Amino acid sequence: MEQRYDIIVAGSGISGSLAAASAAKNGAKVLLLDRNSEEEPGKKTNWGWVCGDAVAKSHIEFAQKELGVSFGEPELNLPVKGVVALSPNLKNRIQFDGEGYVLDRPKFAKKLRDLAIKFGAEYVSGHEVEGPIVENDKVIGVFGKHGNNETFKVYANLVIDSLGIASVLRRRLPANDYIQKDISTDDIESTGRYIVDFKAAKEDTSYYDREFALIHLNQQLAPGGYGWVFPKKGMKVNVGIGIEKHSLELRNSKMGLNDTLHSLIDKYVEWNPVLKEISMDNEHNNAKGYWSVTVRRQLPSLVYENYLGTGDSMAMPNPISAGGIGPAIISGILAGQTASKAVANKNTSIDSLWEYNLNFNKAYGSKMAGLEVFRIFLQSMNNDRIDYGMEHFITKDEAVELSYGNVPELSLASAFTKLLSGVQNISAFKDLMYAVGKMKKLNEIYGKYPADKSALPAWRAIVDAEMKDAKERFKVNPI
Ligand SMILES: Cc1cc2nc3c(=O)[nH]c(=O)nc-3n(C[C@H](O)[C@H](O)[C@H](O)COP(=O)(O)OP(=O)(O)OC[C@H]3O[C@@H](n4cnc5c(N)ncnc54)[C@H](O)[C@@H]3O)c2cc1C
């Protein structure tokens, strides 16, 4: 490793490897750093590559188009026709997200790391980043430890933070008006998943579907989140749950139980009447893992002086689905493009990097604040309300639109007339109308994302006020 580069990319997960690949492809001298061993790029924690591993085909195609590369087996483990969300009583199925894949995540991560190397990035494993090197409030490099506890320092014109949700770079930036350093625990899901072999005790596509990635909305099984059964090649699934801490506490106290994330995953697997005779698939030591994922809008700005962030380090996963692979792909590639251009122009200031905020907002981010409101709304409903709402309030098409963050206002209003007979549900319907109205407003606000940094504080205050309003209206209420 040399002393100085154009760009340091910290973290060789999905977003980091793609940022390094795209920056190197555009001619920058790039260092890609990760704490993992060379054989295990993208491993998130000691627990492994903890993820549901489902990604939309459109996101894979984005990477193929932008980088001129192709993906196939073995990293794309199984094609699926879409994601299906089931109501708690399993009577309503909503299909969204179109075709996609369930990935072999360790192989996908290796493929991306190898692409970064192929495009000319220098990859260095076994280096734990401990923080940014800062001079005059500007990031000028990173420091950390490697080998036998030896310290290292390395310098660059620009640092790309791809360290994931717990990023030490983001959290150790100087105080500033742009990058939000801390993320509220209310906006984080605790998650865990198993990769298992099983025998199908019976056929029932409400519990296991070879062609679809299934999501179970159920506030008793997965308070404040959901459970998932994503098929893999052969008789194998990626099965897990995400939960929200306060919802779990409330659910436990109301039900007189003492469940934890760990006990709930076991109960969820047991609940499933199809998945029987299960055994852990321990390839890559990756069978069982626990980690966290954010379910909020991306951070207000993704850039600072000589610094930009990608993927989970900037809270990019979708607030409803917790899908973060797509935005990690998009942000990594866009960040690499902006970064290489800024370096070539010898200007890596916030102003010069601002186009990345605009590009990410346009390509992916603009609906996330609206979806955050919808997530908060969903967390305020018990199973009966979710069942009733999915049955009566919205059509399947409207539900799909909502899951994308779009607002099907007119037909929702007409549904209101159908509902007048069920007086007790009018308040629930009003809540839905409020959530949908708020989503629309936030979509409009994000449509006017600040064109430059001077407008950020005022814009951010407007967004924060809207979100505060929604959080005050909807309190978690799982049971
Ligand atoms: C249980 C679970 C299920 C999920 N399911 C899905 C799903 O089905 N579909 C989907 O789209 N998304 C899913 N997500 C989200 C998705 O996994 C993430 O959004 C995605 O991994 C983000 O990629 P990233 O490259 O930004 O960060 P990461 O994948 O977290 O990569 C960060 C990299 O940085 C390295 N690193 C971290 N700290 C340091 C340090 N200090 N020094 C050096 N290196 C460091 C890590 O080792 C890792 O290699 C899920 C998440 C969880 C937790």
Closest C-alpha to 240, from 295, 288, 312, 294:
288
* Listed residues 268, 293, 318: the one ending a domain: 293
Pocket of ligand 1 contains residue 163 by CB under 6 Å: yes
377 and 348 housed in the same domain: no
Output the pLDDT for position 412: 60
340 and 300 housed in the same domain: yes
In the chain, what percentage of residues exceed pLDDT 90?
Answer: 85
Place of tokens 């492994």: 48
Pocket test for ligand 1, best of 163, 318, 364 (most atoms within 8 A of CB): 163
Place of tokens 């100087």: 174
Residue 123 domain-assigned (yes or no): yes
Residue 156 CA neighbour count, 13 Å, CB half: 32
Contact 218, 227 (CB under 8 A): yes
Output the pLDDT for position 413: 55
How far is residue 412's CA from residue 105's CA, in Å, rounded to a whole number?
39
45 and 144 housed in the same domain: yes
DSSP 176-210: -SSS-----GGGEEEEEEEEEEEEESS--TTT--T
How far is residue 429's CA from residue 277's CA, in Å, rounded to a whole number?
43
3-class secondary structure, 310: coil
Output the pLDDT for position 393: 74
Q: Show the low-confidence residues of the chain (pLDDT under 50).
A: none
Pocket test for ligand 1, best of 35, 55, 230 (most atoms within 8 A of CB): 35
Residue 335 domain-assigned (yes or no): yes
C-alpha radius of gyration, the chain, whole number: 22
Pocket of ligand 1 contains residue 323 by CB under 6 Å: yes
Residue 92 domain-assigned (yes or no): no
440 and 381 housed in the same domain: yes
394 and 426 housed in the same domain: yes
How far is residue 194's CA from residue 51's CA, in Å, rounded to a whole number?
9
Pocket of ligand 1 contains residue 32 by CB under 6 Å: no
Paired tokens of 162 = 């791809």
Residue range 347-372, pLDDT digits in tens: 999 999 999 999 999 999 999 999 99
Strand stretches in 162-298, DSSP E: 188-200, 212-216, 226-232, 236-243, 275-280, 288-294
* Listed residues 235, 259, 293: the one ending a domain: 293
The CATH number that applies at residue 215 is 3.30.9.10
Cα distances (angstroms) measured from residue 309 to each of 226, 321, 333? 28, 21, 12
Paired tokens of 346 = 């010898």
Report the nearest atom of ligand 1 relative to the CA of 49: 29
Contact 195, 286 (CB under 8 A): yes
Pocket of ligand 1 contains residue 265 by CB under 6 Å: no
Output the pLDDT for position 1: 86
Output the pLDDT for position 239: 98
Question: In the sheet that 54-56 helps form, which strands lie side by side, from edge to edge?
Answer: 54-56, 100-103, 76-80
Pocket test for ligand 1, best of 51, 112, 238, 313 (most atoms within 8 A of CB): 51
Residue 428 domain-assigned (yes or no): yes
Pocket of ligand 1 contains residue 59 by CB under 6 Å: no
Residue 479 domain-assigned (yes or no): no
* Listed residues 248, 271, 293: the one ending a domain: 293
Pocket of ligand 1 contains residue 106 by CB under 6 Å: no
Pocket of ligand 1 contains residue 327 by CB under 6 Å: no
Atom 47, ligand 1: residue with shortest CA distance = 44
Which element (helix H / strand E) includes 368?
A: helix 368-379
Contacts of 377 (CB under 8 A, 6+ apart): 431, 432, 435, 470, 474
Pocket of ligand 1 contains residue 97 by CB under 6 Å: no
Report the nearest atom of ligand 1 relative to the CA of 130: 41
Pocket of ligand 1 contains residue 272 by CB under 6 Å: no
3-class secondary structure, 140: strand
Helices (H) and strands (E) in the chain, counts: 14, 19
Pocket test for ligand 1, best of 151, 261, 325 (most atoms within 8 A of CB): 325
166 and 311 housed in the same domain: yes
Residue 62 domain-assigned (yes or no): yes
Residue-number span of the structural domain to which 403 is assigned:
368-473
Residue 398 Cα to ligand 1 middle (Å): 31
Residue 268 domain-assigned (yes or no): yes
303 and 222 housed in the same domain: no
23 and 165 housed in the same domain: yes
- The conformation of residue 58, written as its DSSP 8-state character, comes to H
Which element (helix H / strand E) includes 17?
A: helix 14-25
Output the pLDDT for position 419: 55
How far is residue 246's CA from residue 422's CA, in Å, rounded to a whole number?
30
305 and 333 housed in the same domain: yes
Q: Is the peptide bond before 132 cis (omega within 30 degrees of 0)?
A: no
178 and 303 housed in the same domain: yes
Atom 6, ligand 1: residue with shortest CA distance = 52
Output the pLDDT for position 95: 86
168 and 23 housed in the same domain: yes
Residue 44 Cα to ligand 1 middle (Å): 5
Contact 200, 274 (CB under 8 A): yes
Place of tokens 């006020």: 465
Residue 95 domain-assigned (yes or no): no
389 and 447 housed in the same domain: yes
The total number of structural domains that make up the chain: 3
